[in-house]
Amino acid sequence: MRAQVLNLMADLQRARSLASLFISHDIAVVAYISQRIAVMYLGAIVESGPTRDILRRPQHPCTELLLAAVPAPHPRLRGQAVRRPSGEVAVSHGIPRGCRFAARCPIAVPRCKLESLELRELSSGHFVACHLR
């Protein structure tokens, strides 16, 4: 049923030249239906760009962890350890200073916890908010 709904949405987008906003925690489904992806953490966009760029070259650690959590469809890849974020799970009523993902980021440096960063363009249409990228 889920695949039928997604196919219907994709068909309508193409046939009617529709734009849509699709929100999900399932990045594999988002990739199937979208031409552009915006990854958010605690209500802030940490990376956005063309779907192909985000999937092939994720630049924010949050995006990398989301992609690493997608179950592998190929039998040889199944059973590999899934990378999970460490650190504290932030809550929306206690949004931290600096990068909102810093407490869970595997590559965070002290600057990440102190200074927030606006999205900056890395390549054509691909934006990231990360001090280290």
Going by pLDDT thresholds of 50, 70 and 90, the confidence category of residue 72 is low
Examine the pLDDT at 26 and tell me if it is beyond 80: yes
In sequence order, what E strands does the chain have? 36-41, 44-50, 120-123, 126-128
Going by pLDDT thresholds of 50, 70 and 90, the confidence category of residue 74 is low
Neighbours of 10 (CB within 10 A): 14
Mean pLDDT computed over 35-54: 94
Q: Nearest Cα to 121, choosing from 25, 69, 53? A: 53
Question: How many domains is the chain partitioned into structurally?
Answer: 2
Is the pTM here over 0.85, yes or no? no
118 shares a domain with 91: yes
User: For residue 28, what are the domain limits?
Assistant: 1-34
20 shares a domain with 44: no
Q: Which string of b and e fits 11-49 if b means at least 16 CB within 10 Å?
A: eebeeeeeeeeeeeeebeebeebbeebbbebeeeebbbb
Q: What is the pLDDT of residue 105?
A: 92
44, 100 Cβ separation under 8 angstroms: yes
28 shares a domain with 3: yes
118 shares a domain with 55: yes
Mean pLDDT computed over 33-49: 94
Examine the pLDDT at 86 and tell me if it is beyond 70: no
89 shares a domain with 61: yes
Q: What is the pLDDT of residue 122?
A: 93
Mean pLDDT of the chain, nearest integer: 85
